[in-house]
Amino acid sequence: MISKGEDAMTVITDYLATVPTEHRTQATALYDLLRELLPNAKERLSYQMPSFWDRYTLVYFAAAQHHLGFYPTPQPIVAFEDELQAYHTSKGAIQFPYDQPLPKELITKIVQFQKARYQIK
């Protein structure tokens, strides 16, 4: 399992080092939140995106030019459709604009939904 100590480099911290400076703070904040919410998940790169895996891929994220992409798979997007009205979504993706604060409460709900769905503690 990948070490997640404060100073440990991981595949995701390596990825974050490649994110343009103007987007890195928000991408890192999402990473830190996901690490807190998924402390036992393995960190991987999948489809060239950071992901958190615990028997299944729970969520992916990626820094795009104009938004931070969050990819929790389709089921949470359907389940949280009303709360996601302020964001551009597609079948399995949510776009968080860089000029807005991360919706940490909503992200937390989505991750908790995924954990319950896959029976992850």
pLDDT, tens only, 46-69:
999 999 999 999 999 999 999 999
Instruction: Tell me the mean pLDDT in the region 64-83.
Output: 97
Residue 4 burial by CB count (10 A; 0-12/13-18/19+): exposed, middle or buried? middle
With contact defined as beta carbons under 8 Å apart, do 51 and 59 qualify? yes
Instruction: Tell me the mean pLDDT in the region 72-97.
Output: 97
Domain 11-117 has CATH 3.90.1150.200: yes
Give residue limits of the domains in the chain: 11-117
A 10 A CB-CB count for 24 gives 15
The phi, psi pair for 115, rounded to 5°, reads -65, -45
